[in-house]
Amino acid sequence: MTDPGLFEQLQAAADMVRARAAFPADRAPQVGLILGSGLGGYADGLTGATAIDFGDIPHVPRSQVEGHAGRLVIGERAGARCVAMQGRVHMYEGHSAQAVAFPARVLIALGARVLVITNAAGGVNPAWPPGTLMLIRDHIDLLRDHALRGPNDDRLGPRFPDMTTAYARELRDLARGAAASAGIALAEGVYAAMPGPTYETPAEIRMLQRFGADAVGMSTVPEVCVARHMGARVIGISCITNQAAGITGEALSHDEVTQTAARVRTTFEALLDGVIAALVSHHELGA
């Protein structure tokens, strides 16, 4: 059940980050970045950065998974003021969907009106080899919990947020253009969220293929839901780190996930730089 003090908890977390990062109100972050398994190195390239451990921020749970540093990093990159989650927490660690999504709410409370949400995902579409970058067009939520379950606080957003364009069409257009300008191949498809921590069975992957999914993972959807609840727009990008169960007949491992993410790191970072620069040049971030 949603904590009735969610609004106050969110303000306490945001106030702590503002005090530690010491940015004035007119220099608040414009872009929020959520960096998934093995992808957190992008935050190391922010200039003028302040890094804060998740555990130091009120009401933010600590990350316990390899490949997730568990830090909030505030700085600048590609012409924009950014606040980045270097890793995330997951429901399979024992957290509710509300707790998993709370750090994304903090990014928005700090000022970010666009969230770029990334993840490492298994490839459900057999045509896409490991290392493929996929722009998320839509998602399928099979997590069995919801980040907005419980009492709604109208100060944060409406009771029933519309998810017709959960991943903003105009921002997907910008992302495709940024990828083309950088010569980066960018697939586009549907992300399915499963609770984990076990990888999916071959039968579950066949089910997801029939549902129209192209990639599968254990994150992202709660963050997208609270972003839409609070009125922020979302760009979602998956790094396909392995082909899902039953496609190749090989066993799956987290080592493969982190190794593939490391292999495509340069391309992934170039894509993020291009996306953020496009957001700036097309005046999608405000002042």
Looking at the DSSP bridge assignments, the partners of residue 72 are 52, 85
Q: Which of 14, 43, 68, 69 is catalytic?
A: 68
92 tagged catalytic = yes
Q: Which of 12, 16, 92, 270 is catalytic?
A: 92
Reading the block at residue 67, the tokens are 């490949």
Kindly list the distances between the CA atom of residue 271 and the CA atoms of 61, 134, 164, 237, in Å, as whole numbers in the listed order.
29, 11, 25, 10
Q: Which of 59, 90, 139, 229 is catalytic?
A: 90
DSSP characters for 63-119?
P-STT---EEEEEEETTEEEEEEES---GGGT--HHHHHHHHHHHHHTT-SEEEEEE
90 tagged catalytic = yes
**Locus of tokens 């009120």:** 58
Q: Which of 78, 219, 244, 284 is catalytic?
A: 219
Q: Which of 14, 21, 28, 37 is catalytic?
A: 37
69 tagged catalytic = no
**Locus of tokens 């935050």:** 43
Kindly list the distances between the CA atom of residue 279 and the CA atoms of 30, 69, 93, 142, 268, in Å, as whole numbers in the listed order.
10, 26, 34, 31, 17
Q: Which of 218, 227, 244, 245 is catalytic?
A: 218
139 tagged catalytic = no
Q: Which of 139, 242, 245, 261 is catalytic?
A: 242
Q: Which of 14, 21, 42, 93 is catalytic?
A: 93
121 tagged catalytic = no
β-strands 47-53, 114-123 pairing: unpaired
Q: Which of 99, 120, 147, 178 is catalytic?
A: 120
238 tagged catalytic = no
95 tagged catalytic = no
146 tagged catalytic = no
CA 140 to CA 143: how far, in whole Å? Answer: 9
229 tagged catalytic = no
Q: Which of 49, 76, 152, 254 is catalytic?
A: 254
Handedness of CA 207, 213, 218, 222 (dihedral sign): negative
37 tagged catalytic = yes
- The catalytic residue positions are 37, 68, 90, 92-93, 120, 218-219, 242, 254
